Structure 1
């Protein structure tokens, strides 16, 4: 299937590839020679794509995957070397600050994307790749995927991903994982709550992804977007006013075209009109 109209004119480089089938957009991290290490250009290309699809209701889900059987091995060391030269030339560390914060902005953007974000985790899932996994709505991992926060072993900090790691696995586990910098595989990732499902082999991984995307298609597009936004608000807003607003949103949803169609489909024992089964 061709790309949605919102993506027809996006300016991205070959560090990522886009593939769309029906309402599911797959973003492939495409630097297999470096285990899909995140360069600045990759980060910027991802930002462009997520900005372009922000209001595109035809894209129901975004699947993040890595080419070459690796998800993402973290930041690109070559970029760091170039930034070191910029910092030396400027006589200050602002280039490092800007580079690191740009990646944090991407993580925030993926975290709050209105689409359902599915991470398919194989091979290296380290550093920044670990952070991306933490902001997915659904994470499916190969049992042999290698997870880790190696930053402290390199003399640096997991600066931008730290808050998202804590939200995902809790402070106690985040402290252990970040301060030891140890590597672990899919089963432990499942045990600590980093991922939701583990696959035993490639066939199982693809089957689980197919089932997840089918489940996403069964849910109403606008209701899914509103639900994700509401869930995010629960972390930051006072409870009583939040529930008041949620009640108003519920009432609007019941009376909406989606609400009427969903109710009728349930009564008539059929799929709602937003589910095409493709």
Structure 2
């Protein structure tokens, strides 16, 4: 049985070194209210701090990933005292800080999308490394239809889709299906329904489970630095990281390859394990 921790907003369970964080406010289609973002940030912090965590899976309960920002709270922000610092800008930027941490989390992040992934929900998916979705999932940068902008998620959408596709979606509020999202590179693989999505998550986690946990952390961090730092110094440090990995997990990985066996860190998942870890009961 997976170990777990939860509040009313997000249920977090751990199974075989993977954290499963399930957004759990179906009444709002898992809108990104402050308590939801805070609980997600706590899951990210847990994955950052624990070297035994090998991946993070994000999913929504009740057949919906996330409807995005909590529109119901917008008026209260407008009514708040803005004499010193604009509370609307402050709250918006707080979500951006979370998105930054999620995007650089040094373990693989899988977003499993059913139903709506609107606005911030779509941004959440774009910050993941692997996006899996059912064919009837729906994605949209819907902020402009409310007269606002996708301020904090725009860089992450551009990073995944490129500027042209992001402009098209953001300037029209167009809703795209899972199949259309796959065609533009937002979704990596489609499932027919929720049960098939469980099996798909298990497949991808099994692939991740074949990789050295430390090697994955080092590699994801290295990729995140590419294009942002001078190439020479980056490669200098990469060579030292390669040597460190070789002396750690690399020795076991090479031995396992030579002996035609699984490496000691190998973990396999099945759909039942995934389903149990994501249960809200």
Could you say which TM-score interval applies, normalised by the shorter chain?
over 0.9
Shift in Å, 1:2: 4.5
- Identify the residue that residue 238 of structure 2 maps to in structure 1: 246
Consecutive unaligned residues of structure 1, counting only runs of 5 or more, are none
In the alignment, the residues of structure 2 paired with residue 41 and residue 201 of structure 1 have an alpha-carbon distance, to the nearest angstrom, of 29
- Identify the residue that residue 45 of structure 1 maps to in structure 2: 39
- Identify the residue that residue 274 of structure 1 maps to in structure 2: 265
- The 8 Å contact of residues 161 and 184 in structure 2, kept in 1 or not, is answered as yes
Shift in Å, 1:240: 2.2
In the alignment, the residues of structure 1 paired with residue 226 and residue 66 of structure 2 have an alpha-carbon distance, to the nearest angstrom, of 30
Number of aligned residues: 269
- Identify the residue that residue 277 of structure 2 maps to in structure 1: none
| DSSP-derived class of the 2:186 partner | coil
In the alignment, the residues of structure 1 paired with residue 7 and residue 90 of structure 2 have an alpha-carbon distance, to the nearest angstrom, of 21
- Identify the residue that residue 126 of structure 1 maps to in structure 2: 118
- The 8 Å contact of residues 147 and 185 in structure 1, kept in 2 or not, is answered as yes
**1:1-278 equivalence runs, <5 A:** 1-3=1-3, 13-86=7-80, 89-91=81-83, 94-256=86-248, 258-277=249-268
Shift in Å, 1:223: 0.2
In the alignment, the residues of structure 2 paired with residue 83 and residue 265 of structure 1 have an alpha-carbon distance, to the nearest angstrom, of 57
- The 8 Å contact of residues 40 and 79 in structure 1, kept in 2 or not, is answered as no
Shift in Å, 1:83: 1.2
Shift in Å, 1:153: 1.0
Q: Displaced runs of 4+ in structure 1, greater than 6 A?
A: none
- The 8 Å contact of residues 31 and 69 in structure 2, kept in 1 or not, is answered as yes
Shift in Å, 1:92: 6.5
Consecutive unaligned residues of structure 2, counting only runs of 5 or more, are 270-281
Which deviates the most, 20-29 or 61-70? 20-29
In the alignment, the residues of structure 2 paired with residue 90 and residue 162 of structure 1 have an alpha-carbon distance, to the nearest angstrom, of 25
Shift in Å, 1:58: 1.6
Shift in Å, 1:52: 2.7
TM-score by length of 1: 0.92
| DSSP-derived class of the 1:141 partner | strand
Higher relative contact order (CA 8 A, sep 6+): 2
